[in-house]
């Protein structure tokens, strides 16, 4: 399977306009069907592998996770040739972003469909000063240098564990990708590769959770 991805974060406005013009001349969105949507408010983990729930800031979310695969499977999809996956994740505590020192990073999060990785990036919850800043790659893929919390939809959340008493140590992101896909079933997997060799409790030091996931089947002709 060949994957083709689009992201509003990857292209500039003039390119978007050009792509829109070319797309409108040759391809039409014929159908769009949400085949899975879960914000965990009803405590439903149907289709989840390694699913578990907890309450964070008065919201029920899936997690929390540290370097372990989580997946959601859907079947009996309608006829389609594209699939759109939107995932809201919350990164908790001391994510360090891009530093490749083998002690505290890089701190990766990634997801894929079926057996192929789609998107890999890093996040940083570190304060950023002119003299010292632990950059992250998001909203781009690794290795791009963006300031901590770039592209976030919420930044003022408290930490979960090691920084649970401090604000601004959990950050929420919404990640959305469109990929070529025509199979009648799909398995969306998520995982992290977090490094914190000097911590006695790495899970308390860095973790992540899922606040929402939505999967949409599209037909483009």
Question: Domain tally for the chain?
Answer: 1
- 1 within some domain: no
User: What average pLDDT score do residues 2-16 get?
Assistant: 49
pTM: 0.89
Q: What confidence category does residue 22 fall into, taking pLDDT thresholds of 50, 70 and 90?
A: low
* Burial (CB count within 10 angstroms: exposed 0-12, middle 13-18, buried 19+), residue 20: exposed
- 89 within some domain: yes
The two structure tokens encoding residue 139: 């909203």
- Residue whose token pair is 């505590």: 93
- 105 within some domain: yes
- 6 within some domain: no
- 149 within some domain: yes
Q: Could you tell me the CATH number of the domain that includes residue 77?
A: 2.60.120.260
- 192 within some domain: yes
Q: CB–CB of 91/208 below 8 Å?
A: yes
CA distance 59 to 48: 19
Closest CA to 188 of 90, 80, 112, 87: 112
Using alpha carbons only, what angle is made at residue 77 by residues 73 and 79, rounded to the nearest 5 degrees?
A: 150
pLDDT in tens, 98-157: 999 999 999 999 999 999 999 999 999 999 999 999 999 999 999 999 999 999 999 999
Give the dihedral sign, CA 43/44/48/49. positive
Q: CB–CB of 213/188 below 8 Å?
A: yes
- 4 within some domain: no
Q: What confidence score (pLDDT) does residue 2 get?
A: 46
CA distance 190 to 205: 19
CA distance 206 to 221: 43
Residue span of the structural domain in which 192 resides: 13-220
- 157 within some domain: yes
Closest CA to 110 of 65, 150, 79: 65
pLDDT in tens, 28-72: 999 999 999 999 999 999 999 999 999 999 999 999 999 999 999
């Amino acid at each position: 399977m060949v994957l083709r991805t689009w992201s509003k974060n990857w292209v500039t406005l003039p390119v978007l306009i050009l792509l829109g013009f070319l797309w409108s001349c040759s391809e039409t969105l014929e159908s769009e069907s949400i085949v899975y949507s879960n914000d965990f408010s009803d405590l439903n983990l149907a289709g989840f592998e390694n699913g578990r729930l907890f309450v964070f800031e008065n919201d029920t979310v899936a997690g929390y996770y540290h370097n372990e695969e989580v997946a959601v499977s859907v079947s009996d999809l309608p006829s389609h040739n594209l699939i759109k996956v939107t995932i809201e994740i919350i990164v908790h505590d001391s994510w360090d972003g891009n530093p490749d020192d083998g002690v505290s990073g890089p701190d990766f999060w990634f997801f894929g469909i079926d057996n192929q990785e789609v998107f890999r990036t890093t996040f940083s919850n570190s304060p950023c000063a002119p003299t010292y800043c632990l950059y992250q790659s998001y909203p781009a893929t690794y290795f791009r240098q963006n300031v901590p919390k770039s592209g976030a939809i919420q930044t003022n959340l408290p930490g979960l564990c090691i920084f649970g008493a401090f604000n601004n140590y959990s950050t929420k992101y919404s990640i959305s990708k469109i990929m070529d896909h025509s199979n009648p079933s799909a398995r969306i997997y998520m995982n992290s590769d977090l490094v914190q060799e000097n911590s006695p409790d790495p899970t308390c030091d860095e973790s992540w959770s899922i606040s929402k996931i939505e999967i949409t089947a599209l037909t483009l002709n």
